[in-house]
Amino acid sequence: MGNFVDLGVPVTRAAIFRQTIGPDENGEMTRIYAVFTQNTAPVFLVQINPHTGEARQFDAPIGTHPWGLTVGPDNCIYIGTAGSAEQGGLLLKFDPAEPDAGLVNLGKMAESETYVWSLANGEGDDCIYGSTYGNGKVVSYNTRTGQMRDYGQLRTGQRYTRPIVVGKDGWVYTTVGTTAPDYIGLDPRTGEHQSSRPDELAGMPVPELAQGGWGRFRKGVDGHAYQRDGGKWYRLVAGKAELIADAELPGPAVLALKDGRRLAGVYPEGRWVLHDPATGQDTSGDFEYESAGMEAFVIGEGPDGCIYGSTALPLWLFRTDPRTGTNEVLGNPSRSGGELYSLLTLDGLLWTFGYPNAYVSSYDPTKPWSFGDAPENNPRNFGMMGDGHLRPRAVILGPERKIYVGSYAPYGELGGAMGVFDPVEGKVTENYRHLIRNQSISALAYDAASGLVFGGSAISGGGGTTPSEKEAVFFTWDTVAKELVQQCVAVAGDTITPAMTVADGKVFLVTRPSNTLSVWDIEGQKMIDHRPMPYGSIVEICLELHSDGMIYGLTNQAVIRIDPKTHEITQMAPWGRGVTCGWVMNDDGIYFASGVNLIRWEWPE
C-alpha cells in the first residue's frame, strides 16, 4: 500500500576528518593531504599539489571515520579508522613514492579495539603510536619492520585513550578514561606506564578531563611534550610533569611546506587555504573529489514545508524542498560539532538541539544565514540545556508552548536529564538531573487533555560508563506540581524506550530489546496491553498520531500503523533497503532516510 519515492541524496559532499602537510614522491614537503569519510563507501585520501592545483583521490578498500592521521618517519601517510569491528581500529598506509598502490590496509592495530583516535610519530624508533577506544590502549606500528604492538589497557575499566603525543624523551603521553580520567606517560621501550601528573596533584580532579574533556597536549618546537593541567602548563620528561611559567611554553611544532607556508584549512566544499607566516598572506585554491554522500542522522519538517536534516561528524544542516527536488547544505546551526539529535518547528522557526551538550538554536528560513549568539543572528544560538544533557534525543512541545528536552548523560557519568526551554524567554527555565536515577531520558510525549508529560528512559549513561540499573522505566510527570507522579517498568528486562506517542487517552510506547508495544491508560493509570512489535525493530522517535486518527511509525524495515482503539499493528509497506532515521509525517506521506537517500512513502489513495 502506498508508493515509495526516492528523493535522491541531499548531501553529496564528504566530511574531512583530518588534514596535514606532507611529502611528495621525492620526500619533499610540497603536498596537502586531507582524509574524508562518507557513509556508504570507505574513507578516501585526497592529495593536493598547491603549486599546480592538481588533486588526486585515493579510495581505501575498507575503513570508516578516519580520526587518526600522521606523516610517518618513512614519509608515508598513515590513517587510523574508527567504527565497527570490521571497519574500525584499522591502520591504512599511503606511500607518495608509490601512488599507484593507493591506500593499503595494514590491518587492526589491536584486535580488541574498534577506534584509533589519534596517531603520533615516535622519537628515533621508526614507530607511530595510536590511542584507542574499546579498552583504552596505546598501540604502535613499526614502519621499518611492519610489527604491531599492543601495550594493553592503561587503566582497568577505562575504555578511552584520546589525544597522543611523543616527547623528545621517547615517552608516549595520552589521556585515559571518562569515569576516572587521568594523564598517562608510557615508556614504549619497557611498556611501563604511570600517571604523568605532578605529585602535588595526584588523586585530584583534572579540570581539562571533566565531563568529556579529552585533555590538552602540545608538541613544542623544542621537541618536548607539554600538558595542560588545572590551568597551568607542564613540561613532560621521563613520564612526569614539571611546572613551567606560561612564558616558557614554546610554540607548537607545525608541519610546513618546503616554501614555508602552513596549512590554514581544507574544506569539504573543495577548497584549500595556505598561510605564509613570513608575509601574513593567504593563498587558496579549489579541488574536486567524488563522494557517495553523507547520511542524515535526524530529519524534521521546517516551517517552510521543506525537509531539514543533520549529518553527523561534522554537523551540517541540510534542506530538501520536496516540491522542487532541490537540495542545499546550509551549515552548522549550533555550537555543537557532532550532530543534531532533535528538530522541532514552532511559530515560524526551526528549533535545533545538538550534540554535545544539548545546544539550542533557532533558525528562520525566511532570513539570510548568519549564525551567532545575538538576537539578530540567524541561526541564533541560545546555549546549552545544562547539567545532565549531552545527547538531546527526546524533544516535544509541552504545556504553555514550552519545549521539553530529554537527554542522555555526559561522558563518564550516569543519569541524564529532562529540561524545559521557554522559546519566548529564550532560556532554560527548569532542569531535572537524575529524574530517573542513573538513567537517561530517551522518549517523551505530551497529553494536552490531562496536561501530563510522559517519558521513557534508557539504562545507558555517557561514554565509558557501565549501567548500574537493569531495566528502563516509564514515568509520568506532573507539569504543574513539577514532580513524578508514577514510574514503573513497562517490560521486564528491556533497557531502552526509543519511541512514544499519545492517542485516544493512552500512551503508546515501545521498548527494546524485546521490541514490545505497551499501552498505558492515562485515566486508569495502569498498563492495559503488551504485544510484540512485528515487521522489524522500531526506529528511534518514529511514532506519531496522524490526523486520520491512526498512529504511524517506522521500523528498520517497514512503515507500520497502530489502531489506537484496538492496538492492532499493521504493516503498511515493507522497505527492504533499511530505515536509517526519521521522522517527518505530513499530508504528502512519511519521510525518512535510508542510507544517504531521502525517501517519501506516499499515502495510499
Region at 382 (left for phi over 0; alpha for psi -120 to 50; beta for the rest): alpha
Domain spanning 16-286: CATH 2.130.10.10? yes
At 514 the three-state DSSP class reads: coil
pLDDT of residue 210: 83
Contact between 304 and 586 under an 8 Å Cβ cutoff? The reply is no
Is pLDDT at 1 greater than 80 in this prediction?
no
Region of 285 on the Ramachandran plot (φ > 0 left; ψ -120 to 50 alpha; else beta): beta
DSSP letter at 383 equals E
Q: Looking at the DSSP assignment, which residues form a beta bridge with residue 89? A: none
Read off the pLDDT band of 6 (50, 70, 90).
very high
Contacts of 20 (CB under 8 A, 6+ apart): 32, 33, 69, 70, 71, 77, 255, 263
pLDDT digits (tens, 9 = 90+) for 196-232: 999 999 889 989 998 778 999 999 999 999 999 999 9
Q: What is the mean pLDDT of residues 431-455?
A: 98
Spatial CB neighbours of 128, under 8 Å, sequence gap ≥ 6: 70, 72, 73, 78, 119, 120, 121, 122, 140, 141, 143
Say if residues 358 and 409 touch (Cβ distance below 8 Å): no
Report the pLDDT averaged over residues 152-156: 96
Residue 375 neighbours by CB under 8 Å, 6+ apart: none
Which whole number is the average pLDDT over 428-435? Answer: 97
Express as a percent the part of the chain with pLDDT over 90: 96
For residues 117-146, average pLDDT: 97
In this structure, are residues 221 and 251 in contact, taking their beta carbons and an 8 Å threshold?
yes
Is 303 a residue whose pLDDT tops 80? yes
pLDDT one-digit tens code per residue, 349-363: 999 999 999 999 999
Q: What is the pLDDT of residue 222?
A: 97
pLDDT in tens, 501-532: 999 999 999 999 999 999 999 999 999 999 99
User: What pLDDT shows up at residue 559?
Assistant: 98
For the chain, give the mean pLDDT.
96
| Distance from C-alpha of 444 to C-alpha of 291, rounded to nearest angstrom | 37
Check pLDDT > 90 for residue 2.
no
d(CA 230, CA 209): 10
DSSP label at residue 605: -
Whole-number Å distance between alpha carbons of 343 and 490? 27
Give the pLDDT confidence score for residue 531 in this predicted structure: 98
Report whether pLDDT(111) > 90: yes
The predicted pLDDT at position 549 comes to: 97
What per-residue confidence (pLDDT) applies to 336? 87
Q: For 508, list phi and psi in degrees, rounded to 5.
A: -110, 120
Could you please report the per-residue DSSP string of 409-465? PPTT----EEEEEETTTTEEEEEEETSSTT-EEEEEEEETTTTEEEEEEES--STT-
The pLDDT, as a whole number, for residue 212 is 75
> What does each C-alpha distance from 155 to 81, 159, 194, 237 come to in angstroms?
22, 8, 10, 21
Question: What's the half-sphere exposure (Cβ side, CA atoms, 13 Å) at 1?
Answer: 12
Which one, of 2, 38, 46, 39, lies nearest residue 20 by Cα? 46
